[in-house]
């Protein structure tokens, strides 16, 4: 498992994190609520990051999506330069994004419904795992959409940068206005600066990081409210699983489309301004 404060890998059953000294809280809704708002979000995010396969291999993903459509030289250029500089048409990116979203909607709904099986108050301890499953698919989708719409490797400079990027993307999915502003600035820096190193400097020097902290706080409050709401729905036999899957499908659909629209808008503004409406 991971420390809910710093994200360091820790052994099961330890009392405190060996890296930052934070107390390792039991995994349940009550413990989550005791954390500061910002830390609640990073607790869920770090838990989701512990799932195998959470990180998307950018090169493999882009190669899988574009190899059936382009020759090897063009695919290599897309991987090296990104879809923006490689002049990939936005319409094609939209088609691929729709395919990706459709696949993840089915997976996220299935995971939520499976975790929504009835069992009474004993299930309260498993609710964070249910939420982590949901964010697992949200995080995977966010990476894929970012890579489709011109982003470089989000893992290149380590876990902290990945957390920053994912917090902004999930914030957009949850319709947090300040997150939209952060992603727009992020995209602009990438286009003008020509690389992730420049964007990283901007984040650490204050252009984006304060926005990320604000988004994390908002997400921490939202996560806690959603966890308690879902806890009560699980206690009703039969209806719990149906409600969990149905709510997830609706939420995921809206959230995925918000991020796709936001990334597409920024992509067109930076790389294809002639196509702006």
* CA neighbor of 137 nearest in space, from 230, 254, 48: 48
Residue range 216-236: mean pLDDT, rounded: 66
Q: Domain for residue 10, yes or no?
A: no
Residue 5 has pLDDT above 80, yes or no: no
Domain count, the chain: 1
Tell how far CA 78 is from the center of its chain.
Answer: 23
Rounded distance between C-alpha atoms, residue 176 and residue 158, angstroms: 25
Asked if the structure places residue 23 within a domain, the reply is no
Contact 186, 267 (CB under 8 A): no
Q: Is the pLDDT of residue 14 over 80?
A: no
pLDDT band at 67 (very low <50, low <70, confident <90, very high): very high
DSSP state of 194: -
Q: In this structure, is residue 177 part of a structural domain? A: yes
> Do 151 and 268 form a contact (C-beta atoms < 8 A)?
no
| DSSP element (H, E) containing 123 | none
pLDDT of residue 233: 47
C-beta of residue 216 within 8 angstroms of C-beta of residue 207: no
CA distances from 175 to 87, 218, 222, 267 (A): 29, 11, 12, 19
* Contact (CB, 8 A) for 35 and 216: no
Place of tokens 């470089």: 152
Q: Is 40 inside a domain boundary?
A: no
Tokens of 220: 């921490």
In this predicted model, what pLDDT tens digit does every residue of 90-107 receive, in sequence order? 999 999 999 999 988 877
Q: Is residue 207 part of a domain?
A: yes
Altogether, the residues listed in the chain come to a count of: 277
Residue-level pLDDT at 257 = 95
Instruction: Tell me, yes or no, whether 19 lies in a domain.
Output: no
At 88 the pLDDT is 96
The CA distance from 190 to 197, in Å, is 9
203 assigned to some structural domain: yes
> Residue 115: pLDDT above 60?
no
Contact 196, 12 (CB under 8 A): no
Across the range 103-116, mean pLDDT stands at: 67
Domain containing 77: what range? 55-275
In a domain, 47, yes or no: no
Rounded Cα distance between 239 and 236, Å, is 6
**Is residue 246's pLDDT more than 50?**
yes
Per residue in 185-197, pLDDT (tens digit) is: 877 776 665 555 5
For the question of whether the overall pTM of this predicted structure is more than 0.95, the answer is no
């Amino acid at each position: 498992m991971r420390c809910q404060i710093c994200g360091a890998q820790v052994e099961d059953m330890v009392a405190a994190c060996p890296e930052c000294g934070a107390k390792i809280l039991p995994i349940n809704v009550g413990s989550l609520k005791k954390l500061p708002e910002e830390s609640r979000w990073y607790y869920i995010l770090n838990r989701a990051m512990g799932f195998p396969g959470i990180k998307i291999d950018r090169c493999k993903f882009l190669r899988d999506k574009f190899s059936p459509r382009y020759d090897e030289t063009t695919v290599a250029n897309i991987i090296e330069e990104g879809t923006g500089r490689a002049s990939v048409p936005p319409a094609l990116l939209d088609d691929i994004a729709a395919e990706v979203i459709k696949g993840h909607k089915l997976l996220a709904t299935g995971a939520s419904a499976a975790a929504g099986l009835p069992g009474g108050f004993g299930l309260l301890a498993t609710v964070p795992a249910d939420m982590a499953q949901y964010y697992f698919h949200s995080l995977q989708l966010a990476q894929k959409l970012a890579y489709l719409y011109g982003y470089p490797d989000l893992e290149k400079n380590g876990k902290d940068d990945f957390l920053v990027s994912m917090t902004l993307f999930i914030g957009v999915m949850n319709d947090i206005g300040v997150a939209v502003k952060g992603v727009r600035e992020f995209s602009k820096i990438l286009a003008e600066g020509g690389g992730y190193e420049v964007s990283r400097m901007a984040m650490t020097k204050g252009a984006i990081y304060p926005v990320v902290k604000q988004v994390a706080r908002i997400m921490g409050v939202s996560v806690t409210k959603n966890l308690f709401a879902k806890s009560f729905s699980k206690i009703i036999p039969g209806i719990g699983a149906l409600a969990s899957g149905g709510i997830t499908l609706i939420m995921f659909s809206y959230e995925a489309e918000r991020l796709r629209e936001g990334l597409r808008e920024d992509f067109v503004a930076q790389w294809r301004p002639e196509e702006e409406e």
